[in-house]
Amino acid sequence: MSDRQVEEVLFATEFTESQKQDVRESTPKSKKYVEYIIQERAYKAHQHIAELGQFLSLNGILLPLAIKEKLNSIYFDLSKIGNSVRFSLIYKRQHEVPNQSEKVDALLPLRAEIESLIQKRLASHATTSVTL
């Protein structure tokens, strides 16, 4: 990869200047780039998991019990996966990170159940007429 191509790729990232400099100086550049990309994605996933937890703690009382229980289950499973990924990154055991995708994929049927329950609930509210 030419220096110009490296700069174009780095320009499109959210890396800090020191991270960009690390990529420029590393050999091979791709290894350091992938390391930072994995860290960035793990951080964003952690933020989204935290947002789900915050949503559930603030709005859980408004959810039907079946939906709340399933969302809590996904939240706790994702939190465990996220903690495992962060542990792997902190201790430079990145070879363990891809194994977590199987655990995330296992949550997809539960996600589909939640979506179905929410759609049914929304449909039931849409067909209810309100008389004033």
pTM: 0.74
Q: What tens digit of pLDDT does each residue of 78-100 get? A: 999 988 888 888 887 766 665 77
Q: What tens digit of pLDDT does each residue of 10-67 get? A: 999 889 999 999 999 998 888 889 888 888 888 999 999 999 999 999 999 999 999 9
DSSP for the chain reads --HHHHHHHHHTS---HHHHHHHHHSSSHHHHHHHHHHHHHHHHHHHHHHHHHHHHHHHGGGS-HHHHHHHHHHHHHHHHHHHHHHHHHHTT-GGGGGGHHHHHHTTHHHHHHHHHHHHHHHHHHHH-----
